[in-house]
């Protein structure tokens, strides 16, 4: 970019992109100097392109590393959420099991109570209260 700026703004004929000797210096030394300057400008362009490519690659690598880190963080969050869900489901299953056991005990007590009442005896619970 800088080399192109120098070329385009330092030359009397901006369309060429290279320095051209001024008419009063039309000798071989001036032509050689112009050729050396143009070669240096070409070299600067190549170096600048190389630096740009390396910078682009560096930025891409940094972005890739950030994305990998972000994906890793999200994966850890997902695993933690899965663990919490599994624990919640386990607690729910245990609570449902306790509820079924309690309902079964209530049903057994009612069956026993009904058996005593239908046989004409006093309720087990009435005997215990005395």
Grouping H, G, I as helix, E, B as strand and the rest as coil, residue 13 is coil
With beta carbons less than 8 A apart as the criterion, state whether 7 and 20 touch.
no
Mean pLDDT confidence for 84-107: 98
Give residue 11's pLDDT band: very low, low, confident or very high (50, 70, 90): very low
pLDDT for position 116: 84
Q: Is the pTM of this model over 0.85?
A: no
Give me the percent of the chain exceeding a pLDDT of 90. Answer: 62
pLDDT for position 12: 43
Give residue 13's pLDDT band: very low, low, confident or very high (50, 70, 90): very low
Domain of residue 37, residue span: 2-128
What is the count of structural domains for the chain? 1
């Amino acid at each position: 970019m800088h080399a192109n700026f120098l070329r385009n703004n330092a030359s009397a004929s901006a369309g060429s992109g290279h320095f051209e000797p001024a008419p009063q210096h039309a000798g071989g030394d001036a032509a050689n100097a112009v050729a050396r300057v143009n070669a240096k400008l070409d070299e600067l362009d190549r170096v600048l392109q190389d630096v740009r490519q390396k910078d682009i690659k560096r930025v891409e690598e940094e972005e890739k590393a950030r994305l990998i880190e972000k994906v890793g963080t999200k994966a850890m969050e997902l695993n933690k959420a899965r663990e919490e869900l599994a624990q919640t489901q386990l607690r729910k299953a245990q609570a449902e099991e306790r509820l079924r056991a309690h309902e079964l005990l209530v049903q057994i007590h009612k069956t026993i109570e009904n058996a005593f009442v239908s046989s004409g005896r006093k309720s087990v619970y009435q005997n215990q209260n005395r």
